[in-house]
Structure 1
């Protein structure tokens, strides 16, 4: 069991190393393979423990950014909570694998685990999904077919096949051609994904993203909110001057990040004037991330669409505020564990529905779907604006509270996958970086560095065609989850029947061993 435990921890570390900024994406296959192999032929309880070790090996380092300014307790609480889902996955793997690795079931169970982890409790937290480690992998092309769950399924399937190949290599079972099938199948999936076409063309518009930067990183950046607003105004005015001088192409649309105006421009005349003057200077629609002091006593994380000469013409309110960051559920209860919950002085209210802005640009109306910060990690929150006609997505985020950690690049990788998944260009803009303009094939352009001031300007293609992923929606994810659930229930029933038979027969020790082997084979055959 010690060896299996070490393999489980190493598997989790491989899953972490596959994520940005280390970005060794092939190690995701190794991580899945290690956990799949470690849970073969063990009890459900042992599978639970091995899954927990795998989860901790991944999430403790992967989510270290969550504690950079608030300490170890929130960080470890989040890492352990996320690891519990992988623990349940380990239990399920042990139950359905009494004899050997079952790659197809492993893939289904991984999809099911990520579905549950991204749903409950409090709406879930789907960060560090396997799919999000594959932005540079050929498998990311499959996002246009079955979304992020499809990419996770493919990675887990290849990982399962590698575990089968490793087991056959261990017993030196490569003398026959069928023994090579797992490796051939893995190569085939990778080749197919690499050749799968992704969206590229479309009518081009020039877009600018304004990364104004903050006076200092950390939780105290909000105390200097006027300076943050001034930085974004100043950067926009500088861009307008460069356009007038002919040094920079004139943009059709400008996007500011989340929290670029934490002073409510609906209630503060100075902030409203400063933003309006910047919009007039650049002369095109500007999307501004703002905190609104409504509905009282709560606040709203919003995107406001400003049009020159007309002011605010549309707004979007973040639908999924982050629990324990933007609002505190059961505040009095969780205060007993950490007083850090009171750093969130006002809870953010959720928005009611997606929005698609019709921005009247010099080159025609552009339909833009705003997505705020961690919403980009949720499948439905990026899919719905596209279904409602968005030609372009704007992911507005604020990474100032995470310092110089991997969080910003992890988030950028998610946006790259979303671009391929929906066949849409994305303006991924942060107050402090990392920001980039992303074309529908997932390629980044004019990428910025952390904690710098920059105006990102470039042409992005607009598209209206929908991908397979948008058409089928959650169907592949739900089907994989259903298959995994049915297999798990069937395996539990067969195991229980085997135990009843053993008790009734009262076999001798030698017969008992034979009986267990027979029942294990029966489980395998019936799955």
Structure 2
């Protein structure tokens, strides 16, 4: 007698049943890519100063590239957002030091949306030939967008700003921060592609493995090739510069209530330096640089503040660039974040008004809307207004280009001052609001990259530290400790030649955006053709 036939409408009886072990593995496997994406963001954060781990950045993109390969755009969007949170949450924690976690979490969540868009684009081009090239272009295109919108953009955390030293840095002199960032990302994605092909083929000499390896190595070779552009020579002689770090009585948001004390501290340190010069313990500077907000009392309206600054300039016998808050129209107009060139004989003779203002710090966009979420918007009582043109100070025969604090993150703001004739760049800053967070180190790294990008010595006078003298090759000649009153005196080279990055301006960035557009367009064409070929 034959065995009974199993009905075909009962497939569960025909198919092999998964074991409980395999069923348990599925959720774990589903978490591998999200965990890898978040890990890539954490690795990218760890590559930033104050940690000297710039070499971690390519490996961050290796992990991200492996996580995104072959995913659909929607999956790439989610994975990219996880990477963005892993990166930006720890990187930007300083934004909530004094005002609580709300602004920090909100900013990180919004900025991570850009990384999510990059993740979607990278996943979409991941199956193309030369995929690392297109993927790196997508990342830089998203950075370009993030540097421009919303509210004028927020380029803080560009990949290039985590590379103040290392093999990739000389590329900043070739194509600015976009090319420097592109090189780091391409190296990482190229390595990811090489690892993936080798794991599948187990053949090092396979064409696909070799192509990916070449893409990974090319940025390193290009970095070495660009080394001749990094130059510390004094083309126009040298200048002896003094940086004054006056410190503040108390850190935090209430430093503004101590305006007179902050001014007095900077006057005091300048007078101490003048006494040291007279006693032969310090060299006479050609020019002196004070930080942003060193005089939040308007010296044009307050005779006492005017006299104190004038006394300091006369004692040091050199022009001073003073960071001041100025209110035009006899105190009734909108305030300006201003650098004042103060001559020891003639008094205030020139000004530079900060052009890229910090939203939610120096002005409050959509105040009534954001008040719904927090009353902290009213901490910005009166909106500052921006300046509209670059201005180089002529200081004892040296042309100094001020780039005030937040402006150092914007390519155009620094480039404008160099093109206007700056032989030395000054980045006066105030970070008293951010306590002992990593903010000051992140900003210092930006200034080091700018030094190489434009082949200029960069001076960073800050209220509370770290103040620094940076050579044109990005190395630090001298620096202070945080929250320590000090004066730095150093001889620095004056330079007037322009690097390719200075001359080319935004062209390298737009070429890399075109690379991204080309890759996305090619991927879209392949998708359309694939759908049409289906029966």
In 2, Cα distance between equivalents of 1:446 and 1:491: 50
Q: CA deviation at 1:440?
A: 0.5
State the SS of the aligned residue for 1:451. Answer: coil
Q: For the Cα contact (< 8 Å) 2:126–2:132, is it kept in 1? A: no
Q: Which has the larger radius of gyration?
A: 2
**Residue of structure 2 equivalent to 1:129:** 158
Distance 2:506 2:289 in 1: 30
* Larger CA deviation: 178-187 vs 273-282: 178-187
Contact residue 400 and residue 423 of structure 2 kept, 8 A: yes
Change (3 A) 1:84 1:344: same
Q: Confirm whether residue 424 of structure 1 aligns to residue 460 of structure 2.
A: no
Alignment correspondent of 1:479 = 511
Question: Could you tell me which residue of structure 2 aligns to residue 85 of structure 1?
Answer: 114
Aligned to 2:483: 451
Structure-1-length-normalised TM-score: 0.92
Partner of 2:241: 207
Shift of 1:112: 0.5
Residues 184, 219 of structure 2: 8 Å contact kept: no
Secondary structure, counterpart of 2:299 in structure 1: coil
Q: 1:319 aligns with which of 336, 355, 363?
A: 355
Question: SS state of the match for residue 260, structure 1?
Answer: coil
List alignment gaps of at least 5 residues for structure 1.
506-527
Shift of 1:98: 3.3
* Structure 1 equivalent of residue 5 of structure 2: none
* Cα distance in structure 2, aligned partners of 1:222 and 1:496: 59
1:23 is displaced (CA, Å) by 3.3
Where structure 2 has 5 or more consecutive residues not aligned to the other structure, the ranges are 1-29
Which residue does the alignment assign to 1:186?
216
Taking the aligned partners of 1:28 and 1:421, their CA distance within structure 2 comes to: 19
Partners of 1:392 and 1:424 within 8 A in 2: yes
| Contact 2:125/2:519, CA 8 A, preserved across alignment | yes
Counterpart contact for 2:126–2:135, Cα < 8 Å: no
Following the alignment from structure 1 to structure 2, what is the Cα–Cα distance between the partners of residues 372 and 501? 57
Equivalence for 2:27: none
Report the count of equivalent residues: 499
Contact 2:132 2:215 in 1 (8 A): no
Distance 2:279 2:90 in 1: 47
Say which SS state the counterpart of residue 138 (structure 1) adopts.
Answer: coil
Determine if contact 1:107/1:153 at 8 Å carries over to the other structure: yes
**2:126 is aligned with 1:97:** yes
Paired with 1:73 and 1:449, the residues of 2 have a C-alpha distance of 30
> What's 1:521 paired with?
none
Distance in 1 between residues matched to 2:262 and 2:411, nearest whole Å: 30
Distance 2:518 2:198 in 1: 31
* Residue correspondence of structure 1 range 12-161 to structure 2 within 5 A: 12-98=41-127, 102-161=131-190
8 Å CA contact 2:363, 2:384 repeated in 1: yes
| Preserved contact between residue 55 and residue 86 of structure 1 (Cα < 8 Å) | yes
Please report how far the alpha carbon of residue 106 of structure 1 lies from its aligned counterpart in structure 2 after TM superposition: 1.5
SS at match of 1:228: helix
Q: TM-score if structure 2 supplies the norm length?
A: 0.91
- Residue in 2 that maps onto 1:513: none
Tell me how far 1:487 sits from its aligned partner.
2.1
In 2, the alpha carbon distance for the partners of 1:346 and 1:475 equals 37
- Name the CA distance, whole Å, in 1 between partners of 2:333 and 2:518: 46
- Identify the range of structure 1 (97-106 vs 77-86) with the bigger mean alpha-carbon deviation: 97-106
Within 5 Å, give how 1:425-444 maps onto structure 2. Answer: 425-444=457-476
- What CA distance in whole angstroms lies between the structure 1 residues aligned with 2:520 and 2:197? 25
Matched, 1:302 2:319: no
2:65 and 2:193 in contact (8 A); partners too: no
Cα distance in structure 2, aligned partners of 1:11 and 1:500: 36
| Map of 2:523 onto structure 1 | 491
2:369 — aligned with what? 333
Task: Name the SS for the 1:405 alignment partner.
Answer: coil
CA RMSD of aligned residues (A): 1.5
**Cα 1:222/1:192, change in 2 over 3 Å:** same
How far apart are the structure 1 equivalents of 2:391 and 2:51?
35
Matched, 1:460 2:492: yes
SS at 1:396's partner residue? coil
- Matches of 1:105 and 1:486, distance apart in 2: 8
Aligned match of 2:443: 411
Residues 252-271 of structure 1 deviation map (CA, whole Å, 9 limit, x = unaligned): 00000000000011111110
Deviation at 1:246, TM superposition (A): 0.7
